Amino acid sequence: MTSSPDSPPLAHAGAKAFTTPAVEVLSAEKTYPNGTQALLPVDLTIEEGEFVTLLGPSGCGKSTLLKMVAGLLEPTDGRLHLWRKPVAQLDESGKKMAFVFQSPTLMPWASVQTNVRLPLDLAGVPRQEADARVTEALALVGLAKFANALPRALSGGMQMRVSIARGLVTQPDLLLMDEPFGALDEITRHKLDADLLDLWRKKKLTVIFVTHSIHEAVFLSSRVVMMAARPGRVVEEFRIDAPYPRTADFMVSSEFSRYAKLLQDSLLRASVDTEEAVA
C-alpha cells in the first residue's frame, strides 16, 4: 500500500494529533470455503477521529473488509483490533461500534421511534433512558417530527436518516457505513453527505465509509484507501488535506478537482489491475 507521489502529504488538515489507533487490520485476509480469495492480506491502521473511505471497483472487497472490522465476517488469517483489543472484545475497551447497511432495513410495521430504539431494547436499556436517547438521535438527523411515522410514509433519504439514527442511538465511537447513500438521487445524497460530516464532527466519531463515488470520497474523507479486485487488496491511499467544515463551494473548487483527478487516475489503475487479473 502506497500513497501516490502526486498526492498531498499524509496529514489531516485542522484535525487533532492522532494518538490511539481505533482500527488495526493486521495482515487480515479472507478466502471463502469455495476457494474464492476475497482479500489478500491487508494491513491498515485507522486513527481515532479519522474519516476513512474505502474506494475501488466492484468486487474489490470493500464490503468484505468493512464486515471483518465489524466482526460480521471472520478473517481466514491475520487479526483485527479495535482500540488495541480483538474485535470480539470491543466491550472491554469501553468503546462502541455501529453499522449502517446499504439499505435502511427498517421494520415496516413499526414507527420510526420504535425502529431507532430497537438496539437499545435488545440491549435491555431502561425504557425512559432509551426514549431519551431516541429523541436525541432523531433530532441529530433532523427527524424529530417524524417519530411516530411509519417507514412507508418516508422518502428514501429519510429512511436512511432513520437507519443512521438507529446507529447513533447506541452512542458509538466507531461508525461503519456500507455505501448507505448509493441508491439516492444526487441532491439527497449531497445533503446527507453534508449532514454526516456535521455528525462526525459533533460526535467526534471515527468513520469507515464504503462508496463507489469519487466525488463523495473527496468531499467526506480525511483519507481515501483505494482497493483493486480479484483478489481484493489495498493498492494506494490518499490524504484529502482540505480543511473542515466542507461546503458545496469546495465541490466546485480547483482543489476538489485536483483530488478527484488523483482518485480517478488511481481508480483507473486499480480497474486495469482487476482486468489483468481476470485475463
CATH number of the domain encompassing residue 32: 3.40.50.300
- Same domain for 88 and 110? no
Class of residue 252 by CB neighbours under 10 A (exposed 0-12, middle 13-18, buried 19+) = exposed
**Nearest by Cα to 194 from 243, 123, 247:** 247
Residue 28: phi and psi, rounded to 5, are -85, 135
Tell how strand 2-3 and strand 233-239 pair up.
parallel
In this prediction, residue 14 carries a pLDDT of 37
Indicate whether 135 belongs to any domain: yes
Number of domains making up the chain: 2
- Same domain for 135 and 220? no
- Same domain for 166 and 210? no
Residue 77: phi and psi, rounded to 5, are -150, 160
How confident is the prediction along the chain (279 residues), in pLDDT tens digits per residue?
A: 445 445 443 433 334 445 679 999 999 999 999 988 999 999 999 999 999 999 999 899 999 999 999 999 999 999 999 999 999 999 888 999 999 999 999 999 999 999 999 999 999 999 999 999 999 999 999 999 999 999 999 999 999 999 999 999 999 999 999 999 988 899 999 999 999 999 999 999 999 999 999 999 999 999 999 999 989 999 999 999 999 999 999 999 999 999 999 999 999 999 886 556 555
Instruction: Identify the three-state secondary structure at position 131.
Output: helix
- Same domain for 216 and 129? no
- Same domain for 199 and 222? yes
- Same domain for 122 and 220? no
- Same domain for 207 and 256? yes
- Same domain for 90 and 108? no
- Same domain for 121 and 188? no
In this prediction, residue 274 carries a pLDDT of 59
In this prediction, residue 5 carries a pLDDT of 41
**Runs of H (alpha helix) within 46-155:** 62-70, 112-122, 127-140
* Full residue range of the structural domain in which residue 265 is found: 1-9+19-96+182-229+240-279
What letter would DSSP give residue 145?
G
- Same domain for 224 and 124? no
Last residue of a domain, one of 137, 152, 171: 171
- Distances from the Cα of 65 to the Cα of 24, 88, 103, 254, 279, angstroms: 12, 16, 18, 32, 24
- Same domain for 39 and 69? yes
